[in-house]
Structure 1
Amino acid sequence: MKRGWKIALGVVGAVVLIGAGGGAWMASLPPKPAKLVEAGPTGQRIDAAGVLGNYFPAAGEGPHPAVLLLGGSEGGLSQGAQAQALLLQAEGFSTLQLAYHNAPGKSAKLVNIPLEDFYRALDWLKKQPGVDAGRIAIVGYSKGAEAGLLVATRYPGIGAAVLGMPSSVVWDGMSAENYVLGSFSSSWSEKGEPVAHLAYKGQPGSEGLMPVFVNGLKELDSNPDAAIPVEKYNGPLMLICGEAEKLWPSCPMTDQIVERAKAKGAPQPVVLRYKDAGHGVAGAPRSAASKDAWVSKLGGTEEGNWVARADSWPKVVAFLKAKLGGPE
């Protein structure tokens, strides 16, 4: 997740410094392609029928519950998400770590990404040997959480969803054009049309993008269609956020999801909040994710983020097992 946001911040800074003419040129440049982590000995690379990812089938004949795992704005297949995929595989969940942008055959920018890509991935996962098609979950983080909640409200039969650092709304596409020059596109599309989205407002601050999201949320009342209709997802939902977040307001957006679910009569989400954690609040614990040493750079203390992960990860696994069951 960190790498994608660093790219975005760098491009935004270049646009501001260079000015209108040079900024337009800089904004048109695609990001550097993300590195695709290898699947490793217990996984396999999938590149077929529009699905690009690493697949980690659970051991044994099954049938097994399965998870569609969505990383954040880094694009491609990251090491952080892979660490989670391996842990889920070891717990008996056949897990597809999906690349949905900034990867071969995918959009370079996180702009108008087709929701159909996620639908195809779920269809593919349900057809795999040893997978119980009636026990499928989505686990997503950051932009993957935004996509995950949106998909859960539109794709029938999702048995559980776990969303770290979530969003309550669909945002503009993640590009310099949108951050600096105004609203041009959505992050997501369906049937070739942009999904209703909320515009960024204002300019990035000295510490990052937080102001454009905080100011953007103030416009939600006048753009209600941008809110993700959590009430259209009737399954169990877990939300994880850090109150020291510096990247986007994930805890306030968590509160908005909970409030909307209550107001609309939807099942109440399970919420895990951590005071001293930020955008590194959710994910594999330290022993499985030693390379995620950046956790404190996007809010919270290093100890606070690792403590949050150590506390939340077993609860994520227990939640999934309680709602989906284990291998049969």
Structure 2
Amino acid sequence: MLALVVVGGVLYVTTPWAPKIEVVEPGPGGERVTDDGMLANHYPAEGAGPHSAVLLIGGSEGGLNPFMDEMAREIRDAGHTTLVLSYWGAEDQPERMEELPLESFTTALDWLSAHPEVDPERIGMLGVSKGGEATLLMASRDPRIRAAVGYVPSHVVWPGIDMRHPWKMMGMGSTWSEGGQPVPFLPYTDEFRGGTTAEFYQMSLDTLPQHPEAEIPVEESEAGMLLVCGEDDTLWPGCPMARAAQERSETHDGPVIEVLAYPDAGHLISGPPITAQEAEDRKLTQMGGTPQGIAAARTDAWPKVLDFLDAELG
């Protein structure tokens, strides 16, 4: 039963047993970056620099997918140079999310910091889902990150995900590594007997007191944080995890963390505004929420994300 629950939860962006990993070409005004082993699309802000910059990363969909590329272009249009990075799933990259090196993100931050049109003192990071987990991890480790946005993030490190062979997922190690060593993670519970994957993750979170090393030390971040979540997320408990990060930072005198929580929205709420019909047509309710709730969440959250980046990065 447990294996079936986890397998079902990771198939939401796949055709069963044959996931499609997309690597989109750069859109208008963009360029492909392959320096230092990276695979990324770069969108320089218009006008004379140096500019603020934002590193964007997706989650378990892998590659360079269209919705992350769209967000990168929208943030570029708001005045920030952007770099949207593929860190797994593309050609010559790891085939599954296990012990992925955090150094991949460090390399991207190095590239942005060294770019002549970027102000290295004004760099932010935005991640979605597992990318939100990585964003909180990186913000707690790299002081160059001055603003962190996490859509439906996690405040703990979870085991890895194998999108191509999901039946092999049980027993996988940490999603992330650093210095060649796995980052401590929270194991999945073996007590679950049925329900949504969000309930499965929540039951696993109940064991966190036995694995405190899995919690991300957000209080060590130099970045202000904005976390966006849907209360009806059926993939994992994004809002409880966002609030847990907020509470930890407050308890340990860390940075201010603002949480935007939307009652009728699910997991797929990241990005610019869309209509309820678009949300329905794109099947964004498959992991919780209603078309109206998802549209309302995106309409409300997106300008707040842009305002946050403007305020934190100048």
> TM-score if structure 1 supplies the norm length?
0.86
Q: Which residue of 2 aligns with 1:95?
A: 82
Structure 1 residue 74 and structure 2 residue 61: aligned? yes
Q: Which residue of 2 aligns with 1:307?
A: 296
The SS at the match of 2:246 is helix
Within 1, Cα distance between the matches of 2:289 and 2:9?
Answer: 21
Which among 283, 286, 294 is matched to residue 283 of structure 2?
A: 294
Aligned 1:56-75 pairs, distance under 5 A: 56-75=43-62
Shift in Å at residue 8 of structure 1?
2.8
Structure 1 residue 322 and structure 2 residue 311: aligned? yes
Shift in Å at residue 179 of structure 1?
7.7
Residue identity matched to 2:282 = A
Q: Which residue of 1 aligns with 2:248?
A: 260
Runs of 5+ consecutive residues of structure 2 not aligned to the other structure: 1-6
Within 1, Cα distance between the matches of 2:22 and 2:172?
Answer: 27
Shift in Å at residue 252 of structure 1?
0.7
Q: Which residue of 2 aligns with 1:54?
A: 41
Shift in Å at residue 82 of structure 1?
1.1
Within 1, Cα distance between the matches of 2:289 and 2:231?
Answer: 8
Maintained 8 Å contact 1:178/1:184: no
Structure 1 residue 189 and structure 2 residue 177: aligned? yes
Which among 159, 162, 168 is matched to residue 149 of structure 2?
A: 162
What is the number of residues matched between the two proteins? Answer: 304
Residue identity matched to 1:295 = L
Residue identity matched to 2:161 = M
Residues 60/9 of structure 1: CA separation in 2 closer, same or farther (3 Å cut) = same
Within 2, Cα distance between the matches of 1:115 and 1:143?
Answer: 13
Maintained 8 Å contact 2:67/2:271: yes
Query: Identical aligned pairs, as a percentage?
Result: 42
Tell me the alpha carbon deviations over residues 260-280 of structure 1, each in whole angstroms, 9 at most, x when there is no partner. Answer: 111111123111110010102
Maintained 8 Å contact 2:143/2:223: no
Maintained 8 Å contact 1:162/1:316: yes
> TM-score if structure 2 supplies the norm length?
0.89
Residue identity matched to 2:70 = A
Residues 204/302 of structure 1: CA separation in 2 closer, same or farther (3 Å cut) = farther
Aligned 1:8-157 pairs, distance under 5 A: 8-9=10-11, 32=19, 34-157=21-144
The SS at the match of 2:234 is coil
- RMSD over aligned Cα atoms: 2.6
Within 2, Cα distance between the matches of 1:56 and 1:290?
Answer: 26
Runs of 5+ consecutive residues of structure 1 not aligned to the other structure: 15-28
Which among 263, 280, 305 is matched to residue 275 of structure 1?
A: 263
The SS at the match of 2:95 is coil
Structure 1 residue 200 and structure 2 residue 188: aligned? yes
Residues 93/11 of structure 1: CA separation in 2 closer, same or farther (3 Å cut) = closer
